[in-house]
Chains A and B, each alone.
Chain A
Amino acid sequence: MNAPRRLIEDDECSNELRAWLSRASASPAIPPSVGSRLAAYSAHLVAGGIATAALGTGAAEAASAGAGSSSVGIAEAGAGSSSVGTKVILSFSSATLGTKTAIISVLFSSMVGFGYVASAPLFIHRSAVGASQVQSSPSSEATVLRQTRSRSVEAARVSPEAQNHAAAQEPTSSTRSSPRTTGTATSRITEPLPGQEDDSGALSGEARVLEAARASLGSAPDRALSLTEEHARHFPRGQLGAEREFIAIDALIRLGRRAEAWERARPGLEGAPDSLYAKRLRTLLGEPAP
């Protein structure tokens, strides 16, 4: 089947329709003011991010993400898997990143309207921590630099062969605790969308519970575990089940309940053993199964 002739070029189409199509403009770009807030928001997520915590090998990462002329820098210093909630600096000026001066940014004050900040840990103070290596990008352009990458990230690097594989992984695991590999992208795009039946606030609610759980991991892993149970109870068909399981497993390890952690991780490890999720689990679990 060939591509249909574009409506705007089709003389048989009504003038109204063709005029409407020609008036419809291309989608707008992100306004700079919104762009900088979104960059700050994503930087904030990374600062307290699960990915870094899960991979925590003691390596420090520095990343800067900018939008337009502004840049947002983050430095995070982690020590083992307890890197959640460590010292973070946020600044619009890359020049300040190299200093040891503690900086409190007013960044988050501009994010109040976004609604999620209140539920997430705020740590916008930086001090010299361990082997933290903070480097900044000299460029004000939107660049991302990873100065130091943890060994586990390197180990989990995706092979080009894997990337060329035609099958696409369904990003939603729903009630399962492990990511699943299903059909092709073709089937994914035409299937009813998981979560469509959910209330509009459900996803945000899910994320908030998990943010709270993740934030508790370092100081109160038992609370983190309870929150993951809350999540499972309130969102039995939630979209963030895989992440919930990851947090729960992390909490079990911190509580010294390694056997339970392994048992809980088993579906994720066996379901798709070569997936990044499974590799991430193995990194978290560390040693061979007890």
Chain B
Amino acid sequence: MTALSDLDHQSGVSEVAFPTVAEIYAMHGDFLWKSLHRMGVPEADLPDAMQELLLVVHHRISTYDGQSKLTTWLFGIGLRVAATARRKVRRRRETDLDEGVELEATTHRELDGAEAVERRVVERDAERRLNEALESLQPEQRVLFVLYEVEQRPCSEIAELLGVPVGTVHSRLHTVRELFFAALARIEKRERSRTGGRT
């Protein structure tokens, strides 16, 4: 896995005054793609979000003054693009029915025994609650959570990416974790109240 700290050194872009968006894509495209995903952009929406990001980078490159790392600067733009993409997804979900999930459950029910189905439904409910708690985080909070808890990146790498001291990463991790568990508790409470305590 490429260390985040290596990204700028590998590219040599920091030596170029005005990297073009094509250069940035060639050198940092994969990093940006993964970052958008970590920030909560669904895989299906990544191409659109990535294109939006490239467009913004193209228009904003003149405002990059080299004082922050290029990856940090790009990351900041990615956060905005991800926030926009997530709002689109949220709106889309509000208008969608959850028919797909129901259909899937029915199919399993037909194929498997009742016990297996019930176990799978419970697992899926837990997963859904955890995903929802993650979804409740802001993009910058979410990416921190994913980098540390899922990808298990060292704090030093995360600090470099975010352009903040390691100590700040530590304190933000504590905050983000509290937010995550608070959201999870809220979701569980909401579901308990819906089912009258039968969860």
Is B187 engaged at the interface, CB distance under 8 Å to the other chain?
A: no
A59 to chain B, nearest CB (A): 13
Is A49 engaged at the interface, CB distance under 8 Å to the other chain?
A: yes
**Of B16, B34, B169, which contacts A146 at CB under 8 A?**
B16
- Chain A residues near B61: list those with CB within 8 A: 51
Task: State in angstroms the CA–CA spacing of A282 and B180 once bound together.
Answer: 49
A3–B155 CB distance below 8 A: yes
Task: State in angstroms the CA–CA spacing of A3 and B177 once bound together.
Answer: 11
Residues in B99-122 with C-beta less than 8 Å from chain A: none
Is A233 engaged at the interface, CB distance under 8 Å to the other chain?
A: no
**What mask results when residues 59 to 103 of chain A are scored 1 for a CB within 8 Å of chain B, else 0?**
000010111000010100000000000000000000000000000
Q: How many residues of B contact A (CB 8 A)?
A: 79
Q: How many residues of A contact B (CB 8 A)?
A: 90
Chain B contact residues: helix, strand, loop or mixed: helix
Residues in B9-50 with C-beta less than 8 Å from chain A: 14-18, 20-27, 29-30, 33-35, 37-38, 43, 46-48, 50
- Chain B residues near A157: list those with CB within 8 A: 15-17
- Chain B residues near A186: list those with CB within 8 A: 163-165, 168
B177–A163 CB distance below 8 A: no
Given A41-B54, A153-B17, A21:B149 Cβ within 8 A: yes
**Of B52, B58, B64, which contacts A171 at CB under 8 A?**
B64
Is A11 engaged at the interface, CB distance under 8 Å to the other chain?
A: no
Residues in A152-202 with C-beta less than 8 Å from chain B: 153-154, 156-158, 162-163, 165, 167-169, 171-173, 179, 181, 184-186, 188-190, 193-196, 198, 200
**What mask results when residues 131 to 158 of chain B are scored 1 for a CB within 8 Å of chain A, else 0?**
0000000001000001011111001000
**What mask results when residues 224 to 252 of chain A are scored 1 for a CB within 8 Å of chain B, else 0?**
00000000000000011011001000000
**Of A23, A41, A156, A190, which contacts B18 at CB under 8 A?**
A156
- Chain B residues near A28: list those with CB within 8 A: 33-34, 37, 43, 46
**Of A42, A204, A277, which contacts B52 at CB under 8 A?**
A204
Is A144 engaged at the interface, CB distance under 8 Å to the other chain?
A: yes
A49 to chain B, nearest CB (A): 6
B76–A277 CB distance below 8 A: no
A-B pairs with beta carbons under 8 Å apart, 19 shown: A6-B152, A21-B149, A27-B38, A30-B30, A39-B22, A45-B22, A63-B23, A66-B26, A116-B51, A142-B27, A144-B27, A154-B17, A158-B65, A185-B72, A189-B140, A194-B80, A196-B80, A277-B62, A280-B18
